């Protein structure tokens, strides 16, 4: 039986079922344990970054090469026919996808990956479309959470920082809603979790609460997911006041359960003090490394009937 992602586009977390997510996690686990260099043999993957993104692009391109495939593409849309000659994105995609076996893309516009998938003869993998979706980040987060906790069902997580604009936390909350997790949201009022995400959690019967500080929930948590509160969203005085409230240091983790892991999509600025790095709870660097395994799993599943 072919795997559920074979020859499918991966555009939005909302398109994936619990079974799809579990298949990616199991495959990532398998590839981390026993590396395979043959799964993309003789395959060419396009890596088209219409907008720059260092970690996402390099980890996708590493994933392709680790699996024995080759990469073509660009890391800046500014130098393409699209930008220079005014070609539509749909036409660019139609041509490039006729050369390759899969198409990985990042684009600054919301919905670009969905449109690309409608013009592509091969699977399109969304590496981020504007402020909309970034499914491979969610998959690496799920893989990391599963790796550290041994399960996804019934976990307690806190999301801290910018919950309004952070597509990472939106998609992760949407995905974890399929696993009956419990959430705490810790954010300035101006950056609270949007209503549409809360409504989706309500629809799944998921328990979530707002919390005023990290310390008050730490003893209950399995995962503490930190994000950056961006300076440009506030005036200077307000920002200085807020910053300290959404900043984590090692002393705040004293009452934590041994299995608590701190995650962050990176780059971090100062919302996680460097003294956290030495605690057994820090896991954000391993999380970033897991990006390669999660992306290997995605590519392997999309391009192989069985893995």
Partner 1 sequence: MMEHTLKVEALANGTVIDHIPAGQGRRILKLFRMSESGERIYIGFNLPSRRTGKKDLIKVENITFTPAQANQLALFAPNATVNVIENFKVKEKLTLGVPDTVDGMLTCPNSNCITATEPVETSFRVSEKEGEVRLKCKYCEKTFARDAFAQLR
Per CB under 8 A, the list member of 8, 36, 94, 109 interacting with partner 1 is 109
Closest CB 199 distance from partner 1, rounded Å: 8
Candidates 125-133, 243-251, 259-267, 287-295 — which segment interacts with partner 1 by CB under 8 A? 125-133
Per the CB < 8 A criterion, the answer to whether 180 and 201 are in contact is no
Q: Is the Cβ of residue 115 or residue 158 nearer to partner 1 in the bound state? A: 115
Spatial neighbors of 306 by CB under 8 A, at least 6 apart, are 1, 2, 3
Closest CB 159 distance from partner 1, rounded Å: 20
* Count of residues in contact with partner 1, rule CB under 8 A: 21
Q: Does residue 134 interact with partner 1 by CB under 8 A?
A: no
Spatial separation of the C-alpha atoms in residues 177 and 60, rounded to whole Å: 26
Q: Does residue 285 interact with partner 1 by CB under 8 A?
A: no
Catalytic residues: 55-56, 85, 106, 134
Per CB under 8 A, the list member of 38, 41, 54, 110 interacting with partner 1 is 110
Candidates 66-74, 103-111, 181-189, 260-268 — which segment interacts with partner 1 by CB under 8 A? 103-111
Q: Does residue 107 interact with partner 1 by CB under 8 A?
A: yes
- Site residues for partner 1, 185-224, by CB under 8 A, read 196, 199
The dihedral formed by the CA atoms of 34, 37, 43 and 44, expressed in degrees to the nearest 10: 100
Long-range contacts of 95-101 (CB under 8 A, 24+ apart): 96/46, 96/48, 97/46, 97/121, 97/122, 97/124, 99/44, 99/46, 99/72, 100/44, 100/45, 100/46, 100/72, 101/40, 101/43, 101/44, 101/45, 101/69, 101/303
Q: Does residue 233 interact with partner 1 by CB under 8 A?
A: no
The DSSP output letter for 192 is P
Per CB under 8 A, the list member of 14, 72, 95, 190 interacting with partner 1 is 14
9: which 2 tokens?
A: 């586009």
Q: Is the Cβ of residue 17 or residue 88 nearer to partner 1 in the bound state? A: 88
Q: Is the peptide bond before 267 cis (omega within 30 degrees of 0)?
A: yes
Binding residues for partner 1 (CB under 8 A) = 12, 14, 88-90, 107-112, 114-115, 118, 129-133, 196, 199
């Amino acid at each position: 039986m072919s795997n559920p992602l074979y020859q499918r586009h991966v555009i939005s977390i909302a398109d994936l079922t619990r079974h799809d997510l579990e298949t990616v996690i199991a495959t990532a686990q398998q590839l981390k344990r026993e590396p395979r260099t043959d799964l993309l043999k003789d395959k060419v993957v396009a890596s088209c970054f219409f907008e720059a993104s260092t970690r996402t692009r390099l980890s996708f391109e590493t994933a392709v090469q680790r699996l024995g495939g080759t990469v073509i593409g660009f890391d800046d849309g500014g130098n393409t026919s699209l930008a220079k000659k005014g070609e539509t994105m749909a036409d660019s995609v139609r041509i490039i996808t006729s050369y390759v076996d899969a198409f990985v893309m990042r684009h600054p516009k919301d919905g670009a990956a969905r449109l690309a998938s409608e013009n592509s003869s091969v699977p399109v993998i969304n590496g981020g479309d504007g402020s909309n979706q970034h499914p491979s980040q969610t998959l690496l987060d799920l893989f990391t959470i599963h790796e550290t906790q041994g399960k996804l069902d019934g976990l307690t997580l806190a999301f801290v920082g910018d919950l309004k604009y952070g597509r990472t936390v939106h998609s992760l909350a949407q995905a974890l809603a399929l696993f009956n997790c419990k959430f705490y949201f810790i954010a300035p009022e101006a950056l609270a979790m949007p209503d549409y995400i809360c409504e989706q959690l309500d629809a799944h019967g998921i328990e979530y609460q707002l919390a005023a500080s990290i310390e008050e929930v730490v003893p209950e948590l399995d995962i503490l997911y930190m994000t950056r509160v961006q300076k440009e969203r506030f005036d200077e005085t307000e920002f200085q006041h807020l910053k300290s409230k959404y900043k984590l240091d090692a002393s705040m983790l004293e009452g934590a359960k041994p299995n608590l892991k701190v995650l962050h999509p990176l780059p971090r600025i100062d919302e996680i003090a460097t003294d956290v790095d030495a605690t057994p709870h820090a896991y954000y660097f391993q999380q970033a490394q897991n990006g390669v395994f999660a992306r290997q799993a995605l590519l392997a599943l999309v391009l192989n009937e069985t893995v």
